[in-house]
Amino acid sequence: MAADNNHIETSQRFAPPATRRDFLGLAATWSAIVAFVMAMLGALRLPMPSVFPESNSRVKLGRPDRFALGSATYFSKLRLWLFRDEAGFKAISSVCTHLGCVAERGVDGQYLCPCHGSKFDEIGAVKGGPAPKGLVWVDLSLSPEGWIVADTLSDVDPKTVLQA
Ligand code: FES
């Protein structure tokens, strides 16, 4: 007993597109709907920042006992000098305030920017060159676990010292 395919009823509601033109029209419509929904999801995400600068600016440098009295330690990734003396800890950014090159610290404790020749004294004040302002001293604090934490986006007075 062979099935008679001519009498199989198909639902008009779920019928496949009749022609290639119908199929392409349907595909274009769904593509537009999906693109619109994705664009709306992206637009909803715009007000939310991808990066939270405040949370990313605080970096642990190490425990205080890691740094000897009288030491000057350079953190190349942070481009930051950390000093320890009798008063405590201080940290200065070596990023030149002219166009952001890294200023090098000489044996005399002064800084020289290799890009356009800005010079800074031991406390980061401008001594020459195109730099509009001195090097930036960053805020130091102690984490609850006792680590020295530098806030790399801060700008504090050069006399600011962390006692630890
Ligand atoms: S970037 Fe330092 S002097 Fe220009």
> What pLDDT does residue 1 have?
41
Shared domain check, 150 and 79? yes
Written as six digits, the tokens of 29 are: 């419509």
Which pLDDT tens digit goes with each residue over 118-148?
A: 999 999 999 999 999 999 999 999 999 999 9
Shared domain check, 40 and 60? no
Shared domain check, 133 and 113? yes
Give which of 108, 107, 71 is closest to 91, Cα–Cα: 71
Give pTM, 2 decimals: 0.67
| 62 is a domain residue | yes
Pocket lining: 112 vs ligand 1, CB cutoff 6 Å = no
Number of domains in the chain: 2
Written as six digits, the tokens of 83 are: 């000093």
**Helix, strand, coil: what percent of the chain each, to 5?**
20, 30, 50
Which atom of ligand 1 lies at the shortest distance from residue 117's CA?
Answer: 3
Dihedral sign, Cα of residue 82, residue 83, residue 87, residue 88: positive
CATH number for the domain that contains residue 137: 2.102.10.10
Predicted confidence (pLDDT) at residue 160 exceeds the cutoff of 80: yes
- Phi and psi dihedrals of 140, rounded to 5? -115, 145
Shared domain check, 122 and 79? yes
Structural domain for 77, as ranges = 53-156
Beta strands 104-105 and 126-128, pairing class: unpaired
Shared domain check, 38 and 64? no
Which pLDDT tens digit goes with each residue over 25-79?
A: 899 999 999 999 999 998 988 877 665 555 578 999 999 999 999 999 999 999 9
Mean of pLDDT values over 16-30: 86
Question: What is the distance in A from the centroid of ligand 1 to the CA of 99?
Answer: 5
Shared domain check, 94 and 39? no
Give which of 138, 105, 136 is closest to 119, Cα–Cα: 105
| 164 is a domain residue | no
d(CA 66, CA 72): 12
Pocket lining: 64 vs ligand 1, CB cutoff 6 Å = no
Shared domain check, 35 and 68? no
Shared domain check, 105 and 30? no
